[in-house]
Structure 1
Amino acid sequence: MANKSNLSGCFNIFNRNGLAWYVDKYAISASLHPVLPEKDMPIYPFPPGKIGIFTRLFDYCNYRLPLTKFLIDVLLVHKVHLSQVNPFDLAKVCHFDLCCRGLGSDPDLDMFRAFYRLNRSGSWFTFEVRNKNSYCYSWITTNLKDWKDRFFWVDDRYVPAEMTWRLKRSVCDPD
């Protein structure tokens, strides 16, 4: 059995009907050429010209393609790839973005970094709360059963080339 904490051990159980449902429900453009990986292929390494997308990015984190500029900015400043961040933490980015907009301002990267810092959790990365007494939300779910085994690939052209894959030995910069 594959080690589920390691991205190279995340194998897809998603089927064509599931992919068709996501493409339709979340209006994923056919021009992004969404495809299912073979059953024995892990999410990473990606095939040339593709990027892996976990389905929870849509139905839990409320993102769509193309990604928001704020999410891309957060990932670039932290030098972490979209597919390496736990969905809970991508939801934190979305929630912060929505809270800022709800208060009538654009989301601010420096403000986000005042609340959160990048942290490694096994093979995944998280946005950890900097100060346990200061956070942007009062509750967030902590269980996403089987989220690592539902993914597909799309063309990587909507992701900046600077968004590189962090190697396991890389450390998070203290900030």
Structure 2
Amino acid sequence: MFTGEHPDDSAEEMSASLPPLKWSKEIFDGLVQNFKFPKAGFVLDILDYYKFHISQLNPMGMVRIRHFEIVCRSMHIEPTVDRFRVFY
């Protein structure tokens, strides 16, 4: 039965074999550019418009915001606060 332990390798040997992950601003910017992440998030625009913190948003509210964004993007329409306000 497998217990999750490695009899041949100790924890120190396993961690020593992997190089540490080092992030820099250049690596992050390259990741954002390569995967074409939007500059500003639609959710952040909504939170800013209605002046509340994400911790004040209930789960169903987040579902509605994300659902609207996904539907817009699937139809190649840029989600905006004004469009969101029309439907909600």
Amino acid of the residue matched to residue 46 of structure 2? Answer: V
Amino acid of the residue matched to residue 84 of structure 1? Answer: Q
TM-score (norm: length of structure 1): 0.27
Percent identity reads 38
Residue aligned with 2:43, SS: helix
Which structure exhibits the higher relative contact order, with contacts defined as CA atoms closer than 8 Å and separated by 6 or more residues?
A: 1
> How many positions carry a matched residue from both structures?
50
Distance in 1 between residues matched to 2:49 and 2:80, nearest whole Å? 12
Partner of 1:94: 66
Structure 1 position 115 matched with structure 2 position 87: yes
Structure 2: which 5+ runs fail to align? 1-22, 24-39
* Greater percentage in strand: 1
Q: CA RMSD in A?
A: 1.5
TM-score (norm: length of structure 2): 0.53
Picking from 42, 46, 71, the partner of 1:70 is 42
Name the larger-Rg structure: 2
Deviating beyond 3 angstroms after TM superposition, the runs of 4 or more aligned structure 1 residues are none
* Greater percentage in helix: 2
